Structure 1
Amino acid sequence: MFRQATRLLVRPISRTGSRRFSTDLPVAETADESFVEAWKKVIPNIEPPKTPLSFMQPRPATPSSIPSKLTVNFVLPYASELSKKEVDMIIIPATTGQMGVLPGHVATIAELKPGVISVHEGNEVTKYFISSGFAFIHANSIADVIAIEAVPLDQIDSSSVQKGLAEFTQKVSSASTDLEKAEAQIGMDVHSALNSALTG
């Protein structure tokens, strides 16, 4: 019976050929209602499970014209660096390479690697070094950047970076277990990226 109910769940909802997303309304609501109805027909004495749609908010509407500013939220687990800050552009260190984000950027999710986030506001550029994280760029010209650690680039001591790089490089070569080697490699990668950010 459960198999029959799940088969009904994966049936296509629309035959128009256009691609729909689970958070688009009202198609998504119809999909959820269809699933509940199908479930109740097959298993009437058990409450239907909640679908992901029950926990999701609708995607914000895409504006008809491109805004002049990009709204940035830049948060860490323990603090908010930027909240609803309107800027001209940000450049983020995606794992696929440096990525510039302007107002009207296509909706994207990017994994971030150790590197520099540049926030451009007129002639002012603020740079932060981040260890890793994710960037969520929405179609309504809002960018959410979530980082594990971040520090303004001008607060980093270059001599400490050089010392740390040397230490982790030595640890990589002298590691005796896979865990020690992995931890040392992460330290070396972060310090190498820090060094490049300060010298480049």
Structure 2
Amino acid sequence: MLSGRQSLLRSAAPLWRCATSSGGIRRRCYAEEAKKDTPTNKAVEAFKEMWSKVAPNLDFPKTPHESMASRPPVPPAIPEKLTVNFVLPSEVAMNAEKVDMVILPATSGLMGVLPGHVPTIAELKPGVLSVHDGGQVKTQYFLSSGFAFVHANSVTDIVVVEAAPLDRFDPDEVRKNLADYNQKLSSATTDLDKAQAQIGVDVFGSLAFALGVTA
């Protein structure tokens, strides 16, 4: 009677011969092994049969883009107006509004977007979003951070974490908060305290600059 090890070696012998054979013989050996009526092959075939019966009745989940309206095509000529969508987590501040230009506080610097701008993705930092129309500034928002997606069809999507109209901020409160965070930064002893204070200095410093607030 064969021991367990001898039985295992004998069953593996055909595969070993295949592995040490030339290319054509090796492929034929593996094909022959795959055709054998083993428990594994039976299970695979049973699964395939059941799947072929179930799959046609499955209602697969929809992906987000399937629920979105299709993007307008790129016009043959540059349009006169820029279409802007400005979205916050809690509201849509601008929905397909036609304007002359927007100026974005990108991490690389202030970025002006006009109709026909090259497609771009820009990360935004704390600063002022200016919307221009009719030769004047239509509105200004102070935003914390986010991204702007400039598309080839003169549509710009602006998605931010927080934003508010610039005229809602109290200059005195901004000055006070900036001073408080500067004090926290100078007295911080841990990396976490320094990082939190630096964020406050950056945000309120940008807001103070936008409002023309001096220390």
TM-score between the two structures when normalised by the length of structure 2: 0.65
Q: In 2 relative to 1, CA 84–66 (structure 1 residues): closer, same or farther, beyond 3 Å? A: same
Q: Distance in 2 between matches of 1:166 and 1:55?
A: 44
Match of 2:89 in 1: 77
Match of 1:16 in 2: none
Matched, 1:159 2:165: no
**Pairing partner for 1:64 from 73, 76, 79:** 76
Tell me whether 58-67 or 160-169 shows the greater mean CA deviation: 58-67
- Give the secondary-structure state (helix, strand or coil) at the position aligned to 2:115: coil
Rg larger in structure: 2
Q: In 2 relative to 1, CA 77–138 (structure 1 residues): closer, same or farther, beyond 3 Å? A: same
Q: Distance in 2 between matches of 1:66 and 1:95?
A: 27
Instruction: Give matches, 1:130-145, under 5 Å.
Output: 130-145=143-158
Cα deviation per residue 1:13-43 (whole Å; 9 max; x = unaligned)?
xxxxxxxxxxxxxxxxxxxxxxxxxxxxxxx
In structure 2, what residue type is equivalent to 1:95?
T
Match of 2:115 in 1: 103
**Pairing partner for 1:112 from 119, 124, 129:** 124
Q: Distance in 2 between matches of 1:176 and 1:165?
A: 19
Match of 2:203 in 1: 190
State the superposition RMSD in angstroms: 2.1
Q: Distance in 2 between matches of 1:123 and 1:59?
A: 28
Cα deviation per residue 1:101-150 (whole Å; 9 max; x = unaligned)?
00111100000011111001103411111111100000000000011111
Moved over 4 A (4+): 54-60
Q: Which runs of 5+ in 1 are unaligned?
A: 1-44, 48-53
In structure 2, what residue type is equivalent to 1:175?
A
Residues paired across the two proteins, number: 151
Residue 55 of structure 1: how far off its partner (Å): 6.6
- Give the secondary-structure state (helix, strand or coil) at the position aligned to 1:179: helix
Q: In 2 relative to 1, CA 56–83 (structure 1 residues): closer, same or farther, beyond 3 Å? A: closer
TM-score between the two structures when normalised by the length of structure 1: 0.70
Q: Distance in 2 between matches of 1:196 and 1:159?
A: 13
In structure 2, what residue type is equivalent to 1:133?
G
- Give the secondary-structure state (helix, strand or coil) at the position aligned to 1:67: coil
Provide the identity percentage: 58
- Give the secondary-structure state (helix, strand or coil) at the position aligned to 2:205: helix
Q: Distance in 2 between matches of 1:55 and 1:175?
A: 44
Say which structure is richer in helix.
Answer: 2
Match of 2:133 in 1: 121
In structure 2, what residue type is equivalent to 1:72?
V
Q: Which runs of 5+ in 2 are unaligned?
A: 1-47, 56-62
**Pairing partner for 2:105 from 93, 111, 121:** 93
Q: Distance in 2 between matches of 1:111 and 1:170?
A: 29
